[in-house]
Amino acid sequence: MSRVLIINFIRFIILVFLQVFLLKNISLYNVSTPFLYILFILLLPFETPNLLLFALAFILGLTIDAFYDTPGLHAAACVLLAFVRVLFISITVQKEGFDNEPEPTLSIMGFRWFFTYAFTLTLFHHFFLFNLEVFRFSEIQYTLSRFLFSSIFTVFLIILSGLLFFRKKERK
């Protein structure tokens, strides 16, 4: 097995484990819940084929759904996240740059690009997830506050993990 496959498999297991056994129980004032597991989709290599990306996003979402007892909510949100990821990367990253920049990490792409990338994709994921979960306009204010504060909390954890676990590399 290749090194990239092993790293991503370990990343999948660790992020699901952290989400299910630690972050599931963390809620700030019942408004903000972090969903760090989306970092798996965010950090997949650029050259991941779209079909594989969507399949991995669906499997990740179903795995989280199994532990959260939410049939299909996280799976649908993760597939949307994968779709937005494809669009975002196609707009912001040059195709010939894939050889020099194998994956979208904080250390490779730089803080400004990675923050914009993580924040945009997290907003799409959380907005879709929370609106699909509630699915009524009577609680729109509570849903929007959950979406906003959970997005901020999740992006904070993503940036923190990027600063803690990735070594600094020179971008070409």
Cα atoms in the Cβ-side hemisphere of radius 13 Å centred on 172: 8
74 within a domain of the structure (yes/no): yes
How many domains, in total, are found in the chain? 1
pLDDT digits (tens, 9 = 90+) for 74-125: 999 999 999 999 999 989 887 555 555 678 888 888 889 999 999 999 999 9
39 within a domain of the structure (yes/no): yes
62 within a domain of the structure (yes/no): yes
170 within a domain of the structure (yes/no): no
pLDDT at 158 over 50: yes
91 within a domain of the structure (yes/no): yes
108 within a domain of the structure (yes/no): yes
For 152, the token pair is 């901020």
pLDDT digits (tens, 9 = 90+) for 34-54: 999 999 999 999 889 999 999
Q: What is the DSSP letter of 30?
A: T
For 45, the token pair is 């290599």
172 within a domain of the structure (yes/no): no
Residue with tokens 């669009």: 87
pTM (two decimals) = 0.89
Distance between CA 91 and CA 130 in Å, rounded? Answer: 26
Would you state the pLDDT for residue 52? 95
Residues spanned by the domain of 120: 3-165
Residues 6 or more apart whose CB falls under 8 angstroms from that of 56 comprise 40, 41, 44, 48, 82
